[in-house]
């Protein structure tokens, strides 16, 4: 028994259809990223709603596959509907896009070397798309104990 309608279940893949490779989706991953990758890979078949549904189900793994099989019988009528219930179920896994202000959360630990602090700070800064340099500099200084501020200016290249 399936959560797909009979119409979806009875639809066969097109002739010469070759199953593309998909990275299986696991519960802790970003569902938006998985859907984007899936849609990109299946772009030639996006008009075949039944195929989009059936193949998507094969990309789910582990507990997510178990979740899929708990959906009510014949409750999924389209890929948009399947995408919606999938996104709703796993929305807590969505990647949070950080802003430059995130850098104010980074503080130099008392036991941490300055080199390690700079390395950790730069690694976090690299994760921020379009990071504002002024905010980054202020956050870097803010994370230092007061006695290290002068030395911090030298490291950041000011």
HSE-CB for 97 with a 13 A CA cutoff: 5
Asked if 22 contacts 59 with a C-beta cutoff of 8 angstroms, the reply is yes
**Helices vs. strands in the chain: H and E counts, helices first:** 8, 0
| Residues whose CB is less than 8 angstroms from the CB of residue 38 and which lie 6 or more positions away in sequence, other chains included | 22, 56, 59
In this prediction, residue 51 carries a pLDDT of 96
Question: Rounded to whole angstroms, how far apart are CA atoms 124 and 118?
Answer: 10
pLDDT digits 0-9 by tens, 54-87: 999 999 998 999 999 999 999 999 999 999 999 8
Q: With helix as H, strand as E and coil as C, how does 65-86 read?
A: HHHHCCCCCCCECCHHHHHHHH
Tokens (6 digits) for 57: 């189900």
Structure pTM?
Answer: 0.59
d(CA 139, CA 144): 9
Beta bridge pairs of residue 25: 60
101-127 tens-digit pLDDT = 888 999 988 888 889 989 989 988 887
Please give the pLDDT value at position 28.
77
Name, in order, each residue with C-beta under 8 angstroms of 31's C-beta and a sequence gap of 6 or more: 25, 86, 87, 90, 91, 93, 94
β-sheet bridge partners, residue 4 = 76
Q: How far apart are CA 129 and CA 124, in angstroms?
A: 11
Stretch among 5-14, 42-51, 100-109, 149-158 having the lowest mean pLDDT: 149-158
* Residue-level pLDDT at 152: 47
């Amino acid at each position: 028994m399936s959560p797909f309608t009979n119409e979806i279940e009875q639809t066969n893949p097109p002739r010469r259809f070759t199953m593309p490779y998909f990275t299986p989706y696991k519960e802790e991953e970003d569902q938006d990223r998985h859907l984007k990758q899936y849609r990109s890979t299946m772009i030639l078949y996006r008009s075949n709603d039944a195929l989009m549904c059936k193949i998507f189900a094969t990309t789910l793994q582990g507990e997510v596959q178990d979740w899929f099989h708990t959906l009510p019988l014949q409750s999924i009528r389209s890929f948009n509907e399947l995408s919606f219930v999938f996104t709703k179920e796993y929305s807590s896994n969505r990647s949070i896009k950080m802003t430059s202000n995130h850098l104010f959360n980074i503080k130099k630990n008392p036991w941490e070397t300055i080199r390690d602090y700079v390395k950790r700070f730069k690694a976090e800064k690299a994760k921020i798309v379009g990071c504002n340099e002024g905010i980054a500099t202020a956050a870097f200084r803010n994370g230092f104990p007061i006695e290290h501020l002068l030395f911090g200016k030298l490291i950041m290249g000011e």
